[in-house]
Structure 1
């Protein structure tokens, strides 16, 4: 809408007057934005949605991804790691002062192990921070990297696994490491791709080729669900 009507040439102003008068005062207000809908597809299709780009780890440090923060419920005294452990526990642990956890059991789907001590469980980033950095996060703001590192908005983003297996995996992508339990491969590939799409991360050539082995074979019908991160 033309705000400074007086500066419009006279003949044009006369022609536009009826149109401008008919425009409601609120017409230019943006429509309210609701929650972004989830995208549901199969691994066979999802792999092709991840852009293939060469990786570059220049400048990466673990401190670039601040975690663990105070979590989704700061008033409960638990950080993101503890909140994930509480949410994913097979048997709930006791919660003490300062969100100290005792007891409880968890299943690490990477290796099929049941763990009965919180100290023996890592909350793993499905796509490790170093890999995220390689795949586009190097250009993000510190705030977005922090949001990524503490993402509880998608079940696939953070997963409790045995500390031993998580450290064996380290920063490797599916071209170099897969869960030791073959039955976990389809889930792992699906959650890896879902996380990359949620955060608009890319993949390098060898990573893409490794994912295609599953997407074009035993895991083609694996459901991939993700909601784009804001």
Structure 2
């Protein structure tokens, strides 16, 4: 992908992510019930490097007790739509729906790899901070209700529509083990991870902190 196209992809996706966010929130805030009334940070912090430095550094916790079912998703958002539907509508172009909010067509640019996707079935909604990574970073101590709010956070920078291929390559890995193939997106990705971990008071291990710091230097 050319430099001009990469820059356009990053600029466009960041504009969408920032446009859908509202004011500050925390892990106990109610999950938005519609696309019209999101809550969450307006943008990554003015100084993401300072945010990163303020995160608690700790070894990753164990996976004991983890299940994706401990993070219920996708929640009902009203009008027949669930969280996935809302993200697809927000981040796509020319999105058309059928009965009960079923997404039938549209166009989406996957920021992780630059792929243009027109089949909604080939898209995943990625949790920028993966659910298992959140569990290892402190979410194991939350209630299931808090985990549901995290997994369906429409107000911040936690949810993004990307190609299924890129999302499944990422899996539950943190930034030390996986980075978006599109290097032009590293700055935006690192800022989003730092923002989410700050809002939810999640920890980073040393390798993840260093990887995020390196990506922030590309900003």
Matched, 1:65 2:96: no
For the structure 1 residues 218 and 36, does the alpha-carbon distance in structure 2 shift closer, same or farther, using more than 3 Å as the test? Answer: closer
- Write out aligned runs for 1:1-230 (5 A): 36=24, 40-56=45-61, 57-71=63-77, 74=78, 76-89=79-92, 91-154=93-156, 156-215=157-216, 217-219=217-219
Q: For 1:124, what is the secondary structure of its paired residue? A: strand
Q: Per-residue CA shift, 1:45-101, capped at 9, x if unaligned?
A: 121021101111222111110000102xx1x10100001100111x23221112111
Structure with max Cα Rg: 1
Structure 2's unaligned 5+ residue stretches are 1-22, 26-40
TM-score, normalised with respect to structure 2: 0.78
- Shift of residue 43, structure 1, vs aligned partner: 2.5
Q: CA RMSD in A?
A: 1.5
- Shift of residue 105, structure 1, vs aligned partner: 0.4
Structure 1's unaligned 5+ residue stretches are 1-34, 220-230
- For residues 210 and 161 of structure 1, the distance between their equivalents in structure 2, rounded to whole angstroms, comes to 21
Q: For 2:179, what is the secondary structure of its paired residue? A: coil
- Shift of residue 141, structure 1, vs aligned partner: 0.6
- Shift of residue 42, structure 1, vs aligned partner: 2.0
Contact residue 104 and residue 120 of structure 2 kept, 8 A = yes
- For residues 104 and 218 of structure 1, the distance between their equivalents in structure 2, rounded to whole angstroms, comes to 31
- For residues 207 and 126 of structure 2, the distance between their equivalents in structure 1, rounded to whole angstroms, comes to 22
- Shift of residue 36, structure 1, vs aligned partner: 4.3
Count the aligned residue pairs.
179
- For residues 126 and 100 of structure 2, the distance between their equivalents in structure 1, rounded to whole angstroms, comes to 22
TM-score, normalised with respect to structure 1: 0.74
